[in-house]
Amino acid sequence: MQSRPMTTSETMLQGRMASARSFLVRNMVTIMFLVLSAVGYKLSGMTPFLFLMDIVARLSRNAFLVLALIIPVMAGMGLNFSIVLGAMAAQAIVIFVTHWGFAGLPGILLSMALVTPLAAILGYLTGSLFNRTKGQEMIAGLILGYFAQGIYELVFLQLVGGIIPMDNSTIIMSSGVGVRTTIDLTNGLKYGLDWPGQYWGNDLLLRPTLPWAIIGMAVALAVGIVIYQLRVDKRQRLGSTQLVLAGIGLAWACWWSVQQIQARTQINWIRVPLLTWLVIAGACVGLHFFSRTKLGQDMRSVGQDRHVAAVAGIDVNRVRIAAIILSMVMAAWGHIIFLQNIGTFSTYGSHEQVGLYSAAALLIGGATVARATIGHALLGTLLFHTLFIVAPAAGRQLFGDAQIGEYFRVFVAYGIIGITLAMHAWKQILQRRSVDQ
């Protein structure tokens, strides 16, 4: 009886320790990948120059596609593997735009304009299908991808050049029917967005060097944070710890960049595709804005509980279809960005991995099937592709065989999706059981 009563602050401390532990558990995947990437980088023996050059390219190539997955997660539909359809639509349009001879930025803009209605229709159909398979959207999306692959192959192997006339020897196979297996975008859409200056012979326009780009981004971020702090409600403002950390991070990035510029290191040779990054940044701002609109709020409501949302009078099916349409259009645009950066693509294969790789990137960033943010998407893209870059080199260093690193990378990509889905199912069972008790 005489023992000292536990004070509230002690209970709070215990609570805080518990929450620190749950933070680690929740972000286990991300932390694991941070470690893996760091170790892989060390082992690979890569120079910062090579690494940075590659990561800049890969980030600008893939980030938009990963962002396309966020909205369906918001609407409670899990990872939208059906974005493969959006990628196929993008390839179809790119083939035609290339055939018509459009190039550069105008070609890109035309492709995006043309693919939008096509992707919207595909999104509508996919969304309608998902409404009949509620709760099974992920698997339905995967199957749908395989099904669409069949139709796509039929059209481009059998119909184009035959029923659909296309007289173009660089695109159509020598038999006169069917599209070639690889399409080269050089002198066409290649770098249309990354480097629009190439066509009017201007090297510098919209292609800043990496250090300058970093300084620019840091300044833009700092301004953004200030505006956010001023405009947003008191309770949503960033805390002082977060502000200090952000300040230190940004200052360090600027300092590092200035050093690179002064020392004239190789890093200054890396060019950043400014327009592409602006498009990605625009997508991030747009998504943030969208989540605070009526439609965005409806999606989050439907995502939490379809039944409650319906009783509140929200047209659940319509909201879900809207989510898939938006995701599909974003995916199509994202894939166009991807293709123009690569500059050549395999007609019957380039879209295949889009769903799985984007999903893996998102999950690695710390997202779950039920919650995904812009931060998850960007961080995940960075980590996933870091591994892509360093794994083969690390494999060569360790085992004398780059292929082993390659295997490891593929293994990790699929493994991570499998594990995350299993963990999600497991967590649901656990949650249900703890409520039971």
Partner 1 sequence: MAVEPVLRMKGISKSYYGTKVLDSVNLSIMPGEVHGIVGENGAGKSTLMNILFGMNVIHSTGGFEGSIEIAGQPVQIKSPLQAMALGIGMVHQEFMLLPNYSVTENIKLNREVLKPNLASRIFGPRLQSLDYDKMYADARKALKRLNIDIDEYATIAGLPVGYMQFTEIARELDKEHLRILVFDEPTAVLAESEAAHLLEAIKEIAAAGIAVLFITHRLNEIMEVCDNITVLRDGRHVVTKASKDTNVIELAELMVGRSMEFAGRKQHYSHKGRPILEIKQLTVDMPGERVRGVDLTAYEGEILGIGGLAGQGKIGIANGIMGLFPAAGDVKVAGTPLPLNNPSASIAAGLAFVSEDRRGVGLLLNSSIEVNIASGAMFGKKEFIKTWGPFSQVDQAAVRENAQKLIGELDIRCTGPRQLVRQLSGGNQQKVCIARALTMNPKILLVSEPTRGIDVGAKQLVLDTLRRLNEELGMTIVVTSSELAELRSICSRIAIITDGRVAGILKPDDSDVNFGLLMAGQPISKGA
Among the candidate windows 6-14, 159-167, 245-253, 376-384, which touches partner 1 by CB under 8 A?
6-14
- Cα separation of 30 and 35, whole Å? 9
φ and ψ of 349, to 5 deg:
-140, -25
- Smallest gap from residue 401 Cβ to partner 1 (A): 41
What crossing angle do the helices spanning 210-231 and 274-290 adopt, rounded to 10°? 20
Listed ranges 187-195, 300-308, 346-354, 388-396: which one lies at the site for partner 1 (CB under 8 A)? 300-308
Contact 370, 121 (CB under 8 A): no
Q: Are 193 and 94 in contact (CB under 8 A)?
A: no
Which of these segments, 28-36, 48-56, 143-151, 312-320, binds partner 1 (CB under 8 A)?
Answer: 312-320
Q: Does 292 bind partner 1 (CB under 8 A)?
A: yes
For partner 1, give the closer residue by CB, 219 or 308.
308
Q: Which residue among 150, 165, 239, 313 contacts partner 1 (CB under 8 A)?
A: 313
Q: In 3-state terms, what secondary structure has residue 91?
A: helix
Cα-based angle 243, 245, 249 (whole degrees, multiple of 5): 115
Query: Could you tell me which residues are beta bridge partners of residue 344?
Result: 184
Which of 3-11, 146-154, 223-231, 349-357 is the region at the interface with partner 1 (rule: CB under 8 A)? Answer: 3-11
Residue window 208-237: x/- pattern of binding to partner 1, with contact defined by CB under 8 A: -------------------------x-x--
**Contacting residue, 287, 309, 367, 382, with partner 1 by CB under 8 A:** 309
CA distance 213 to 198: 19
Could you say whether residue 311 binds partner 1 (CB under 8 A)? yes
Give 346's strand partners. 182
Give the C-alpha separation, 366 to 432, whole Å: 22
Print the binding letters for residues 403-432 with partner 1: x by CB under 8 A, - otherwise: -----------------------------x
| Strand residue runs (E) in 347-408 | none
CB closer to partner 1 out of 204 and 435? 435
Q: What are the tokens at 95?
A: 């083939």
Q: From the list 243, 308, 410, 419, which residue makes contact with partner 1 (rule: CB under 8 A)?
A: 308
Least distance between partner 1 and beta carbon 4 (Å): 8
Cα–Cα distance measured from residue 418 to residue 437, given in angstroms and rounded to the nearest whole number: 29
Residue 401 touches partner 1, criterion: CB under 8 A: no
Q: Name which position in 24, 312, 410, 425 contacts partner 1 (CB under 8 A).
A: 312
Contact call for residue 297 and partner 1 (CB under 8 A):
yes
187: left (phi over 0), alpha (psi -120 to 50) or beta: left
Q: Which is it for strands 182-184 and 344-346: parallel, antiparallel or unpaired?
A: antiparallel
Catalogue the long-range contacts made by 406-409 (C-beta closer than 8 Å, 24 or more residues apart): none
* Per-residue x/- track, 12-31, partner 1 (CB under 8 A): x-xx--x-------------
Interaction of residue 285 with partner 1, rule CB under 8 A = no
**Site size for partner 1, by CB under 8 A?**
39
Torsion of CA 283, 288, 290, 291, to 10 degrees: 140
Closest separation in Å from C-beta 426 to partner 1: 14
Does 295 engage in binding with partner 1 (CB under 8 A)? yes
Q: State yes or no: residue 289 binds partner 1 (CB under 8 A).
A: yes
Phi, psi of 290 (to 5 degrees): -60, -40
Q: Which residue in 94, 298, 320, 340 binds partner 1 (CB under 8 A)?
A: 298
Contacts with partner 1, residue ranges (CB under 8 A): 1, 3-6, 8, 10-12, 14-15, 18, 233, 235, 289-290, 292-295, 297-298, 300-301, 304-305, 308-314, 432-437
